[in-house]
Amino acid sequence: MLPKDAQSHDSSRDLLKLLALLTMTMDHVGLMIYPQIPALRYVGRISFPLFAYLLVLGMSSTRDLAKYLRRILIFALISQLPYAIANEIPIEQKLNIFFTLSLGIIFIYLQERNNILFIAPLAASIVLPMEYGAYGLATILCLNIMRSYMRTGVALLIALNLLIMPFGSMYQPLALLSLPLILLHKSGRLSAINIKISLHPTITRYLFYAYYPIHLISLSLVKLIV
């Protein structure tokens, strides 16, 4: 069974969400509008590990994993058209990051229960064209391992990002810059930075998901103007 974390309101998790959204936006600004500024893409490497870590935290604290998965799948469907428009590709050519996160939930759920069917979502991440693919699921697995076995998880995440260099982007190892933030959260030291969001938690939660398609549409419009 996945352990349940006792949680009231984790303000440091809100900070990680804001940093994940900020670095993702910088990455997409660099991809879509300012490709001549590679530093934006470099900083953007931090975003996915943060989203993956937040997913692992969400799985451990949710009372209804099926509802959690359903919510992410709904936003995967909502985001696919904005994702295709932003990347200027046919809608079926590549699946957005929410599909990767959805597979990650299924993968971790089955793997935690020693169910051999965990191979199915892993195979799907290899066969299906999706954002981050098998690397994405491997990252989620490393961060889930880190929850219980910190040193092992950290070592695996470092090895993963170094080994991917010959097969992917040479600057993908910059994703490891997310590690200090993740470790600070895990140690509880990020809680010293008090982030207060005045909206109702449910509204905040859905805004976090909705930001993805909204910012893709906004950047697509800006690209047309610029």
Indicate whether 138 belongs to any domain. yes
Per-residue pLDDT of the chain (226 residues; tens, 9 = 90+): 334 433 445 678 888 999 999 999 999 999 999 999 999 999 999 999 999 999 999 999 999 999 999 999 999 999 999 999 999 999 999 999 999 999 999 999 999 999 999 999 999 999 999 999 999 999 999 999 999 999 999 999 999 999 887 676 778 889 999 999 999 998 887 766 655 555 556 666 788 999 999 999 999 999 998 7
Residue 43 placed within a domain: yes
HEC states along the chain?
Answer: CCCCCCCCCCHHHHHHHHHHHHHHHHHHHHHHCCCCCHHHHHHHCCHHHHHHHHHHHHHHHCCCHHHHHHHHHHHHHHHHHHHHHHHCCCCCCCECHHHHHHHHHHHHHHHHCCCHHHHHHHHHHHHCCECCHHHHHHHHHHHHHHHHCHHHHHHHHHHHHHHCCCCCCCCHHHHHHHHHHHHHHHHCHHHHCCCCCCCCHHHHHHHHHHHHHHHHHHHHHHHHHC
Confirm whether 3 is domain-assigned: no
At 51-67, the pLDDT tens digits run 999 999 999 999 999 99
- Residue at 6 is within a domain: no
66, part of any domain: yes
Q: Is residue 156 part of a domain?
A: yes
Tell me if 155 is assigned to some domain: yes
Number of domains in the chain: 1
Residue 164: predicted pLDDT: 85
**Could you list the residue range(s) of the whole structural domain that residue 123 is in?**
11-225
88: left (phi over 0), alpha (psi -120 to 50) or beta: left
**What is the predicted pLDDT for the residue at 8?**
45
Residue 4 falls inside a structural domain: no
